[in-house]
Amino acid sequence: MKSIELDSVSKAYGNETVLLDFSLDIEPGERVVLLGPSGCGKTTILRLVAGFIKPDSGSVSLDGQVVSRDKRILVPPQHRKLGMVFQDLALWPHLSVRGNLEFGLRAKGISKNEREAKTQKTLELVGMGGYGHRKPDELSGGQQQRVALARALVLEPKVLLMDEPLSSLDLELNRRLRKELVRLQEKLEITLLYVTHDREEASHIATRTISMEKGRISSN
């Protein structure tokens, strides 16, 4: 479990200010959902936490350690120990589903037997147990979304960043997976930062919902 803190973060693209003095404190084990209209800055916040972009000013901390400050990345993304499921899933196209899940496990030096067991168990969890041999482009959009979720979960991260990971699923699958997500988050003691624009989904996942308007937290 890790805390996440953004302290007076500002971020602009060209002359468009996306975030202005934005602060957010997330306690270990919380499930915080960012809710807000398209373009209000939700993905930008996740990118800042992940370390893909740097703040113009202000700082980002994980577990009390400053990882980005002002215009500098102090800890690069690969060392932040985060799980991520982003809008553009970024599955490896040349690897099978199983290969996509095993990739990160192999990098962690986990043995073949354990890799296979964890991979299969996690695929079953998201209802993809029979699809391990397929390539991503042989799956539907919703199936790819489940594989992306499984790929993040299989590494048992302490912080999980999710950007509308269930948005292309039908309601029944959305309900099932969000329940599983909450169950796993509690079991693995993950700190979750989750983005959606669906108020109903947010209400089922969040221990705290943050409603945003353009670049700032709205009053409700």
Interface residues with ligand ATP (CB under 6 A)? 13, 18, 36, 38-44, 197
Q: Are 75 and 41 in contact (CB under 8 A)?
A: no
How many C-beta atoms lie closer than 10 Å to residue 208's C-beta? 10
- The nearest distance, CB 198 to Mg ion, in angstroms, is 13
Of 159 and 212, nearer to Mg ion (C-beta) is 212
- For the record, the structure tokens of 35 come out as 């809710």
Q: Are 126 and 159 in contact (CB under 8 A)?
A: no
- The nearest distance, CB 36 to Mg ion, in angstroms, is 9
Q: How far apart are alpha carbons 187 and 69 in whole angstroms? A: 32
Of 41 and 157, nearer to ligand ATP (C-beta) is 41
Between residue 168 and residue 207, which ones bind Mg ion under the rule CB under 5 A? none
Query: From ligand ATP, Mg ion, none, which one binds at residue 18 (CB under 5 to 8 Å depending on kind)?
Result: ligand ATP
- Among 195, 196, 186, 172, smallest CA distance to 28 is for 186
Of 13 and 92, nearer to ligand ATP (C-beta) is 13
Q: How far apart are alpha carbons 6 and 36 in whole angstroms? A: 18
- For the record, the structure tokens of 204 come out as 């089922």
Q: Are 59 and 7 in contact (CB under 8 A)?
A: yes
Query: From Mg ion, ligand ATP, none, which one binds at residue 158 (CB under 5 to 8 Å depending on kind)?
Result: none
Residues forming a β-bridge with 209: 33
Of 128 and 212, nearer to ligand ATP (C-beta) is 212
- The nearest distance, CB 80 to Mg ion, in angstroms, is 19
Query: From Mg ion, ligand ATP, none, which one binds at residue 13 (CB under 5 to 8 Å depending on kind)?
Result: ligand ATP
> Is 143 a residue that touches Mg ion (CB under 5 A)?
no
> Is 43 a residue that touches Mg ion (CB under 5 A)?
yes
- The nearest distance, CB 169 to ligand ATP, in angstroms, is 17
- DSSP-derived letter for residue 5 is E
